[in-house]
């Protein structure tokens, strides 16, 4: 019965690739079409420098169809993309951080931004990745200041100043002594991730590694 309902759903609402929006081939493709899977701008696990973090790895470069898909995910209500994105991110986490973390968490948006969007995209991404990893993701950080978007600030110094003090750790006992895996959707200058890493380590985290879906470093103009 369950399979019949799933097949019926596929007929009534055919799944599309999250990157190119092409209908997926029934039975042969899941989440992402084969053409996109073969042609996405993978970073090949290139490390990103994040202040105070032990390691940071992005799965994709933030350009072309990746940038468009993440924009839909963050700003156009495409919250369902979290499953496909989480699958890709989980593969990267398995390659780079297996056995190196005790707890999965995410970089949160402010309460105001969450209310406007209807969801926290980094939370959905972390939860989806955790499911793929047969684990759970938990909230450790809250964003207490609704600061201007980092994308509107050009210099690295202004970006760092913009997020300074914008986050706080909700439960220090949960964080203390733990090896943390911190997840976010994108990284540009790294200022936001760095501030969250700083807060987690101030709260007593033993180590913090970061995994992001896409990096703006090396993107095409």
pLDDT for res 198: 96
- Per residue in 87-134, pLDDT (tens digit) is 999 999 999 999 999 999 999 999 998 999 999 999 999 999 999 999
Q: Per the structure block, which two tokens stand in for 5?
A: 């309902």
| Residue 150, C-beta contacts closer than 8 angstroms, at least 6 positions apart | 159, 162, 163, 188, 189, 191, 192
Give the pLDDT means over successive 10-residue stretches in the chain (221 positions). Answer: 38 76 79 93 94 96 97 95 96 97 96 93 98 97 75 56 78 96 95 95 97 79 38
d(CA 125, CA 171): 21
Is 0.85 surpassed by the pTM of this model? Answer: yes
pLDDT for res 8: 37
**Distance spanning both ends of the chain, measured CA to CA:** 50
d(CA 88, CA 190): 21
Q: Which of 191, 182, 211 is nearest to 59 (CA)?
A: 211
Question: Could you give the C-alpha distances from 123 to 34, 41, 129, 208, in angstroms and in order?
Answer: 27, 24, 10, 17
Q: Do 199 and 180 meet the contact criterion of CB atoms below 8 Å apart?
A: no
Element (H, E) at 211: strand 207-215
pLDDT for res 199: 96
How many residues in total does the chain contain? Answer: 221
Q: Do 144 and 168 meet the contact criterion of CB atoms below 8 Å apart?
A: yes
pLDDT for res 165: 74
């Amino acid at each position: 019965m369950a399979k019949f309902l799933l097949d019926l759903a596929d007929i009534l609402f055919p799944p599309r690739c999250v990157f190119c929006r092409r209908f997926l081939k029934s039975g042969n493709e899941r989440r992402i079409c084969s053409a996109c899977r073969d042609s996405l701008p993978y970073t090949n696990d290139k490390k990103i420098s994040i202040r105070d973090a032990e390691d940071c790895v992005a799965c994709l470069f933030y350009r072309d169809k990746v940038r468009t898909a993440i924009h839909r995910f963050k700003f156009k209500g495409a919250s369902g993309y979290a499953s496909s994105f989480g699958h890709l991110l989980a593969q990267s986490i398995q390659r780079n951080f297996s056995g190196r973390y005790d707890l999965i968490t995410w970089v949160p948006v402010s309460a105001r931004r969450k209310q406007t969007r209807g969801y926290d995209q980094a939370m959905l991404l972390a939860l989806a990745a955790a499911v793929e990893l047969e684990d759970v993701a938990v909230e450790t950080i809250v964003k207490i200041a609704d600061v201007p978007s980092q994308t509107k600030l050009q210099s690295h110094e202004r970006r760092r100043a913009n997020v300074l003090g914008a986050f706080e750790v909700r439960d220090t006992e949960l964080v203390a002594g733990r090896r943390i895996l911190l997840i976010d959707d994108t990284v540009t200058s790294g200022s936001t991730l760095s501030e969250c890493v700083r807060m987690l380590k101030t709260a007593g985290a033993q180590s913090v590694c970061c995994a992001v879906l896409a990096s703006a470093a090396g993107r095409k103009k």
